[in-house]
Each structure stands twice: as structure tokens, then as C-alpha cells.
Structure 1
Amino acid sequence: CLALPPEERPDTGRRSGEGSETMERVLTALMDLVVPPASMVMLAFAWPTLSFLRALEWALKALTKEDMRGKVVLVTGASSAIGEQVAYEYARRGANLVLVARREHRLFAVRENARALGAGHVLVVAADVVREDDCGRLVADTISYFGQRECIQSISSMLCFKVVNLSV
């Protein structure tokens, strides 16, 4: 019937759109009656459950937080980005830090922030971890400063490229 042109459709005795307006009013009234109470019931059950789960998550994090006091953590790439944030997290846990990066001037600012966050001793070493002699000096400086060989390493990132000639 809808595929027919308007002049060929049978006359139902109703004006165009009259039935859809009535249906719209009925649906709106039904939604006004059903949605608010249903929302309140869902909120009454969801809110306490989510609050309980959030409290449980907080308690588990507090109980499982590793005590790093007195441990030496070597953080490469500590002058910015991920390495800097890793250093701050270990500082909050009270670790002794060895901050390593090529930009020594940035490391001094990170050292001061780490001390303010609770780090024990903080050693700044300007080194490029790609160079073998810098890595040897880094290990030697760490051992001479902290007097221990055990250390936890946190390598923030290292990116390697190989140059390839694609010309024909």
C-alpha cells in the first residue's frame, strides 16, 4: 500500500500522520513511567557494587605495594617521558636511584623531583647505553657509589634502526 502513489492508495478515513502521533504519545508516556524507576533500581545496585570494587582495588594495591627502600634501581632514559615517570614511581617507593640518560642537565631536575618524592640516594650518570664503554662506566660508577652489585634495572626504551639502501 505504501508503494502506491498517494492518489491510488485506499482511503482509510484518517488524516496523514494521525496514527503515528498517537503511537508516539503512547510510547513517550510509557517511557516516562518505566525509565525513571528502572534507572533508580539499577543505580541502587550498581553504585554500592562499584564502590566496593574500587575499595577492594585500593586495598589490594596498598597491600601488594613493593617496598623498595634500600634497593638500587637503575633507570635508563630517565631524563624524560617513560623513563622519568618510572624513576618517580620508584622514588615514591623509597628506592635508591641511578638515573641514566644522555642529557645530563635534564637529569639534575629529575633528581631533585625524585628526592622530593622520597627517593633515598640518587646518582646521576650521563651515558649513552648504546655505547659499550658508557655501559661499563655506568656499572663501575653504580658499584663505587652504592657499594653493592645487586641492582634492579628498568630499561625504559631503546630504539634501533638499520639503514637500508632501497635505491635501484
Structure 2
Amino acid sequence: MFQKVTLDHKVFIKPRLFSKNDYNAIVTALSEIYGNKVVPELGLCVSIDRLLKVGDRIVPQSGDGSYEVAVTFSAYFFCPFIGEIIEGNISGMTSESVKGLKVWIRVKEIKFKSAATSDDSTEPVMSIRASMDESGLGAPSWWLEGEDQAEAEEDDVEDGEEESDE
């Protein structure tokens, strides 16, 4: 589900980051580039781990005072594997409602948006197709008994499902 990846990147450090030490300035710049963004074939970047190698500063002739530096760094990415069981949320549905129900699902397919697709496309950058049509999948409250079931149903209500007396 989470993987640690080593990447190389040429980072531009803007003058607004000069008040930070070099390490923090570079990590901040990398976080702005990668943080909470999907990188095709790697997944969603959730954290910059550490800098592994920092090259020399190069001041380009851009005139804005920035400098660039080549870095090698490690970062953590979220990308479930095919067949993995993960917890998800149903945030809608119809035919007498569901809304806010936690479910266990099995990952069937992961798709990344093609680089050839234009940025104004409504196609998501990363999509995960999953199913819950196997034993043990679906809402945890369907499979738990006693106190565990009551806790799971309580969690579903806390996540947005409204209780109904109907």
C-alpha cells in the first residue's frame, strides 16, 4: 500500500525560502512539487522522507534570485496493489440511501491518467477500481458480531450516515 521510492529532481529554491536552512528549503520546495500529488506509476505522494544527495547550487540567469540544485531524495507514496483489501468510504448511493458507510474493498485495477491527456480533462489522475462482492468484504458491521458490530455501526454514523427510525 505504501512504498518508499528514491527520486532525482532539479529543485528551484525561491528567495522566499532563503530564511530556512538549505535542508528545510529543499524539503519545502519538494513538498510543494510532490506533496499530495499523484505521480504516474508511483501513486499519491504522502511524505518527503529525506534528502540522500544534494548537488551544487547553480544560479540561473533568470534574474529572480532563485538557485537550482539537483537532489536525490526518498519519499513515501500511497498505491495499493492489485488484490489488496483496503478500507474505503461510500459517500453516496441511492435506492433508499447509504451515505458515509465504511467498507472493505478488494483492489481490482489501478489506472493513471495518460501524459498525453490534456490537463483540462475530467479524467482523474489516478483511479482505483475495486469490488466488495466477496465474503468478508463490504461494511464491517455486516461481518462482525456483538460489541464489535455496534462499534462498527457507530463509526459509520460518525462518518456522515444519519440514523433513521424508518
Give yes or no for TM over 0.5.
no
Quick check: which one's helix share is greater?
Answer: 1
Larger of the two Rg values belongs to structure: 1
Quick check: which one's strand share is greater?
Answer: 2
So what's the TM-score if we normalise by structure 2?
0.23
So what's the TM-score if we normalise by structure 1?
0.23
